[in-house]
Amino acid sequence: MFAESEAAGSVRTQTFLKVPFDCLDVAGAARAIAARPPGSPFAYVVTSNASHLVRLNERGDARFAAALEDAGLHTLDGSAPHWLARNLFGLDIPLCPGSDLSTYLFEHVITPDDAVTVIGGNDEMKRRLIARYGLRTLHMHVPPMGFIDDPQAVEATIRFVEEHPARYVFLVVGAPRSEYLAHMIRARGNAVGTGLCVGSALNFLTGLVQRASPAFRKLGLEWLYRLIQSPSTHIERVFVDSLPIFRVAAKAKVNPAAYGMKPAAADRP
């Protein structure tokens, strides 16, 4: 939890599949973020979905594990992990998707005077954000494809964040790149603001990509909508990156301690 937050020490955390989630809904997470004064040392938010939890628990990605461990705020994203947490383990972790959190921040928290930096996106995204929210200071840096494996490109990206101080830093270069980048920015210790690893959130917010209708989202079928809309880019994301969450949860049900969890109430002696 952010050390500077007014809510520090009062927010319940619940570990699910090795991640200590802050039990905050969208409005609560936004309040915690807004409570950080301008100029606060850089800290970041991770909104973990099924693919995050699969990568953490099955891929042996130590770099990703370190990035998640260092997050200042960690919320639960995704209907599948939310359902599993509640119904398989009896855990009450509010759902706080990155897309909903980003929308809430822009609609209710971020003011035209707040400096915003975006890593990723494109010129049209920048134009629409400025036009819609009247932002006076919006800096954008778009790293090249594959930048995370190019030390010079990574250095240029980190330096951009450091040289363009902002209260809110949206990292929209996809997982796990956003999390890797956030971790490196924080480790350097030169940047300020709150980093938000929020995937495609700004594409949805600006209308560059159409989001699933509220009906789809309420039923937990946003993943199906995205798969139908763009099968070529989502087949692997759904069936390879995310679907194994059910296998991970099954293993955790058998051996919850290995995943940092207590047995569900119904399983306890």
The answer to whether residue 248 scores a pLDDT higher than 50 is yes
pLDDT tens readout for residues 119-130: 999 999 999 999
Classify 167 as helix, strand or coil. coil
Q: What is the pTM for the complete model shown?
A: 0.89
Judge whether residue 221 has pLDDT over 60.
no
Mean pLDDT across 238-246:
76
Cα 235–chain centre separation: 21
Which of 269, 256, 239 has its CA nearest to residue 88?
256
CB-CB contact of 101 with 199 (8 Å): no
Structural domain boundaries in the chain: 13-264
